Amino acid sequence: MNKQDTKNLIKRYLLWLYKTTKEAFDKYERKFTQLEVDKSLLKKIEGARGVRGVDKYIEEFRKYVTEKENFCLKLKDKGKRIEPEFLWLDIKLSAIEAIIKKYFGAKGLSEIKVLYEKEMQQRILKSMEHK
């Protein structure tokens, strides 16, 4: 195996490590970002109160936002996320990113992040096609 083959294997392994760790990390992180968006959305749609038949949907969405917020509060203590698995994934992801930079530089890390984001967007679009 030549140097380029070895480098390619390392890059693919680091890509896999990044992807699997980032997916697990995002399962926690997205709750907080989704809550932020959902609260903004709720404020906007509350303006439709009184429109024929929509009040029950607004209340259902309000309940959904409240439940998500309560879930997020369980993951936080004094504004800091304390769930051990979340902390572990944060530490692991930072370490993986540092190793990627060591082998492939900041540009290599940026490329991997772009690949990951494209993959996640494609998954969303594909999941929408099947519904």
Which residue is associated with the tokens 């900041």?
A: 106
CB 89 within 8 A of CB 24: yes
Could you list the residue range(s) of the whole structural domain that residue 55 is in?
A: 3-129
Structural domains in the chain (count): 1
- Mapped onto helix, strand or coil, the DSSP state of residue 130 is coil
For residue 17, the tally of other CB atoms under 10 A from its CB is 17
Please report the sign of the dihedral spanned by the C-alpha atoms of residue 97, residue 100, residue 105, residue 106: negative
How much is the pLDDT for 103?
Answer: 96
How much is the pLDDT for 79?
Answer: 58
Beta-strand relationship, 80-81 and 76-77? antiparallel
Low-confidence ranges of the chain (pLDDT < 70): 76-81, 129-131
